Structure 1
Amino acid sequence: MAKTIMIQGTMSNAGKSLLAAGLCRIFHQDGYRVAPFKSQNMALNSFITSEGLEMGRAQVMQAEAAGIEPSVLMNPILLKPTNDVGSQVIVNGEVLGTMSARDYFKYKKKLVPDIMKAFHKLAEENDIIVIEGAGSPAEINLKSEDIVNMGMAKMAKAPVLLAGDIDRGGVFAQLYGTVELLEEDERKMIKGLIINKFRGDKSILDPGVAMLEEKCKIPVVGVAPYMNIQVEDEDSLTERFDRHQEVGVIDMAVIRVPRISNFTDFNPFESIPGVSLRYVQHPSGLKQPDVIFLPGTKNTMDDLKWLRESGMEALILKAAASGTLIFGICGGYQMLGENLSDPHGVEAGGTMRGIGLLPVDTVFAEHKTRTQVCGKFLELDEEFAPLKNVEFTGYEIHMGESTWKNGAVASTSTCDTVTGTEKTEGTFYHNVCGTYVHGIFDKEEVALGLVRAVGIRKGIDVSEMEGVDFATFKETQYDILASELRKHLDMKKIYEILEQGVEDILEESESEGEAEK
């Protein structure tokens, strides 16, 4: 049975996912079979496994760091927000239904058997399980029904490392306050504290570290630096959205719709020198990009309405008329069509006029398409000519089906990697292109093909621009992450914590509970 260790945080975006990935990589490098695990994940960035099951991208990233294939066992519950008070609930990779926050809160304890079945299966196959928590364990209004922080730590008998984010300030209060709000048995399960995202001279921090250890009676096992590691972000808390980006020789803009999902599709462009990739939320920030990307979204019709009301749609139409390349993926592809219809109430219900740049209509279906694919671009018009016959891999995950109208031409041909089913999909029309395939730019040849298309349109030589194979690039990033954490975390102490576990604490707590009865 695998040994376990858990990373919890004082808040969302404290760096839990990256720390867990780093530990996965370190344990993998040290020769252990290691797997990540997160019982419940809330994110709009998701992935389709080779079995056609859906899981959160954070655990995909951590699995890559661990050197293993992603499995839905690593994330048995995925919540994909559909609005501010409800989410689509995905259990073991399959859609269970859509629930309000209140209804899910009442229901989620029924999912504990699914969680533990997945966890035990992973534990049988690996030497170490690195578990990630969610949000904060000190959310005292939610603790009674917790299945992802201390509740999960107890079920998995996992010692906890608690991470605080110094970059946002108040890290000593974060860590001390979190510890103080826990129950006594929970405090005993926290075996180490981590100060994360530190910039500067650590010696200046040392007096505070000593005082924190004295007050919490828990050792600080590391002060991890702020790291600019280029791996995939979990959700809309990403710092990519707020990053100041100078306009490059080739300027690309991703429209940041309110329910943006799978924006990781565009990460490969960040690694091409001379290319700027900007996330644009307001019409004033769009400027005059060479490419406008319409990304995936969890609510296509509502986000299309936002485009229309914000004035962004009018700017997209103006840019398209001037010859700017427009590329839509999944929900973005659907928006670019002529009509959208939702007869089953999958989203908002009813019908809506699309942007009208592609001759397709979309009808939302009750069944979700989930599959990995390989394929190639077809013979596109001159605006996208450098992409002709370029091969790609990726995955489809969508509720809608798009049908071609007169004048429509498919943009790609794909093959389902599980069933072998071949089809043509997507659409292009002059300088506008759409596809359902996520991850389509991950191969260097595809990303550079689009860059070359821009170069031809602008009349500039981009032949010297070099991209990267994104899968290979991420491998180097995981190694850098592991190397940095080895320098700044006390790995000897962490291995001791891993070996000691917390079974004695849990047994003591159970005995005290029986005595009170």
Structure 2
Amino acid sequence: MPARALMVLGTASHVGKSLLTAGLCRIFRQNGWRVAPFKAQNMALNSAATPDGGEIGRAQALQAEACELAPTTDMNPILIKPSSDQTAQYVVQGKVWRNLTARDYFSFRVRELFPRVLESYTRLAEQFDLIVLEGAGSPAEINLRDYDIVNMRMAHAANAACLLVGDIDRGGVFASLVGTLVLLDEADRARIRGTVINKFRGDRKLLEPGLAMLEAHTQRPCVGVVPYLPNLKLDEEDSVALEDRQTPARIWKSLPNTPERPLRIGVIALPWMSNFTDFDALAAEPSVALAFLERPEDVAAADVIILPGTKQTLHDLRYLRERGFVPPLLAHARTRPLVGICGGMQILGQRIEDPTGAEGGGWDEGLGCLPIVTVLRSRKWTTPATGRWRPPTLFGQPAPNLRAEGYEIHLGETVYAPGAEGLFDVVRATGEQVVDGAVSPDGRIIGTYLHGLFDDDNFRHHFIAAVRRMCHLSPAESLRSYRSERRQRLDDLAAALRTALDVTRIERWLAA
């Protein structure tokens, strides 16, 4: 018997579809369903590596975690990673397929790619009782309806009961829910079984007249009003979530100038920053005040600077020069720690070359902080990995048997200058063993290809302790267990949704 299917659609992007899908996955798993997530097509620079060496959207990896599953490429068969305003890299079933303009992609996706989407969905549906699908953007993008493979076309293919979600926090929720249904054709509209209002703040009684009118207009039940849930600290799907990111003006100016104060970690807000969830675990630590830096003058106030991953390394290197970041970054590196993750490490090297046009072609001198040269290639490394720390110290502090778990997602081969030292001995999920990263001769500047290494509690705690001591700050009074707290956050999300949603009615739809 094929799996039952429930689909979470939204009236727009960033209305909360991804987290609602994760929460519903958790509820159904707790209720005894063998459940898996699925999103036919995702657009995000925030991605995750699967154990089989593929790449999917970070949100689907979180949803798999909610189901207590290892992520697979079938859960997100098409991942679109923008590389400019007009072009993107297309990852199909976990592997890079092509770089195309949006116009060219439209001519391919229904004819060539939807069959591959169905292949992935069918494999999942054969293994599980229930698939919880997530849509993208809005199903009522009437100019794109003929090319849609992620919303209603997928809903029909999966025979899915659909929930339509609107975000009341951004205003206009009743108009957006009603308007979306009006713009759908009759067959699509029939798939929508009920509506959900998300991110509600205030007195529920004041909302009741609107809910009654909504149900009258739509002829469908509103199966829940989900409250605004702050501080969930679960992965966001894409950079839209960075609109609310912390800035130095918001958090650093109020910090006391005492040895007990939080560590000021500054992440440079590169235009093409990818995998910004690398820093969620650091930001959750009470002994850390993490901010995203958009102005060169903010660099001087940071104890630690991190250059994050980027989808366009050469572009963002030139951005740093044009915006005046390079002098303060180099000044910072003379006395305080500087860290590069993936593309950020490549920027810290001596040179970046792109002979095959993997990111547009050309070359440029790096910042010269690490003794490496990067040659970008068309091959992409995507794999979970475990690293064993090579240097005897971390920022001057002993680092015996220090390890970190993370994942690689990168283009580029690192060529070491004579005498250069690697940072980790890495074992990839494939069993391959390689040297990763680099460290400056004075030990203050480090770089690695490992995303997610700060999610590793042991490594993060060592990192914080070493940097605080280097900056003459007192030891952290408390440290978080991020991984166990993450499981609890998923349970908390599920508990909140159980209270807010009519889960019994939704399960009846699945049994029909």
Please say whether Structure 1 and Structure 2 have the same fold, judged by a TM-score greater than 0.5. yes
Q: Is the 8 A contact 2:396 2:470 kept in 1?
A: no
CA offset at residue 389 of structure 1? Answer: 2.8
SS at match of 2:454: coil
1:88 aligned partner, one-letter code = Q
C-alpha distance in 2 between matches for 1:380 and 1:266: 25
Q: Which residue of 2 aligns with 1:399?
A: 411
Quick one: distance in 2 between partners of 1:93 and 1:335? 26
Residues 7 and 171 of structure 1: is their aligned pair in 2 closer, same or farther, counting only changes over 3 Å?
same
Classify the secondary structure of the residue corresponding to 2:53.
coil
Equivalent position amino acid for 1:292 in 2: I
What's the CA shift for 1:282?
Answer: 2.6
Which of 308, 315, 327 is the equivalent residue of 1:314?
A: 327
Aligned residue among 334, 345, 360 for 2:372: 360
User: Aligned runs of 1:170-189 on 2, under 5 Å?
Assistant: 170-189=172-191
What is residue 456 of structure 1 aligned with on the other side?
469
Deviations 1:393-427 (A, max 9, x none): 11111110111113421111111222x22222211
Structure 2 counterpart of 1:303, from 316, 326, 346: 316
* Counterparts of 2:281 and 2:477, CA distance in 1: 17
1:346·1:364 contact (CA, 8 Å) conserved in 2? yes
Mapped to 1, the partners of 2:108 and 2:244 lie a distance apart of 33
Partner of 2:493, secondary structure, is helix
Query: 2:59: which partner in 1?
Result: 58
Partner of 2:490: 478
* CA-CA distance at 1:286 after TM superposition: 3.9
Match for residue 493 of structure 1?
A: 505
Corresponding residue SS for 2:113 = helix
Q: Deviations over 1:239-289 (max 9, x none)?
A: 475346523520111111111111111111122112111112232444511
Q: Is the 8 A contact 1:386 1:449 kept in 2?
A: no
Aligned to 2:245: 242
The 8 Å contact of residues 379 and 389 in structure 1, kept in 2 or not, is answered as no
Q: Give the TM-score, by structure 2 length.
A: 0.94
Q: Is the 8 A contact 1:376 1:390 kept in 2?
A: yes
**Given that residues 287 and 476 in structure 2 are in contact (C-alpha distance below 8 angstroms), is that contact kept between their aligned partners in structure 1?**
no
Asked if the contact 2:299–2:329 (Cα under 8 Å) also holds between the matched residues in 1, the reply is no
Structure 1 residues 241 and 402: CA distance shift in structure 2, 3 A = farther
SS at match of 2:239: coil
Q: CA deviation at 1:222?
A: 0.4
Is contact 1:54–1:370 with CA below 8 Å preserved after alignment?
A: yes
Distance 1:180 1:216 in 2: 9
Correspondence for 2:165? 163
Give distance in 1, aligned partners of 2:219 and 2:264.
Answer: 52
Q: Which residue of 2 aligns with 1:213?
A: 215
Deviation at 1:387, TM superposition (A): 4.2
**In structure 2, what is the equivalent of residue 383 of structure 1?**
395
Distance in 1, matches of 2:368 and 2:392, equals 19
Q: Deviation string for 1:428-462 (max 9, x for gaps)?
A: 11211000111111111111111111211122221
CA distance in 1, matches of 2:312, 2:251: 30
SS at match of 2:453: coil
Q: Is the 8 A contact 2:336 2:471 kept in 1?
A: no
**Partner SS for 2:83:** strand
Q: Name stretches of at least 5 consecutive residues in structure 2 with no aligned partner.
A: 253-260
Equivalent position SS for 2:251: coil
User: Within 5 A, what are the aligned runs for 1:15-54?
Assistant: 15-54=16-55
The amino acid that maps onto 1:369 is W
145 and 384 in structure 1: CA distance in 2 versus 1, 3 angstrom threshold = farther
Equivalence for 2:130:
128
For these two proteins, the number of residue pairs brought into alignment is 497
Q: Contact 2:352–2:366 (CA<8 Å) still a contact in 1?
A: yes
Mapped contact 1:339–1:360 kept (Cα < 8 A): yes
Shift of 1:112: 1.1
- Structure 2: how far apart are the matches of 1:178 and 1:309? 43
Whether the 8 Å contact between 1:387 and 1:446 is mirrored in structure 2 is no
Aligned-pair Cα RMSD in Å: 1.4
Q: Which runs of 5 or more residues in structure 1 are unaligned? A: 501-517
Alignment correspondent of 1:195: 197
After alignment, is 270-279 or 126-135 more displaced? 270-279
- Is the partner of 1:83 in helix, strand or coil? coil
Query: The residue matched to 2:13 in structure 1 has which SS?
Result: coil
1:385 is displaced (CA, Å) by: 2.7
**2:216 alignment partner, SS class:** helix
CA contact (8 A) 1:241 1:279 kept: no
Instruction: Report if aligned partners of 2:300, 2:328 keep a CA contact under 8 Å in 1.
Output: no
Q: In 1, are the aligned partners of 2:393 and 2:399 still within 8 Å (CA)?
A: no
Answer yes or no: is 1:264 the counterpart of 2:277: yes
Q: Distance in 1 between matches of 2:138 and 2:173?
A: 14
1:357-389 deviations in Å (ceiling 9; x for gaps): 111111111211222211221225562535453
Deviation sequence 1:69-109 (CA, Å, 0-9, x none): 11111001111111111111111111111010000011101
- TM-score w.r.t. length of structure 1: 0.94
- Secondary structure of 1:268's partner? helix
Distance 1:355 1:54 in 2: 29
**Code of the aligned partner of 2:471:** K
**What's the CA shift for 1:463?**
4.6
* 1:423 maps to 2:434: yes
Structure 1 residues 97 and 310: alpha-carbon distance in aligned structure 2, compared to 1, 3 A threshold: same
2:118 aligns to what? 116
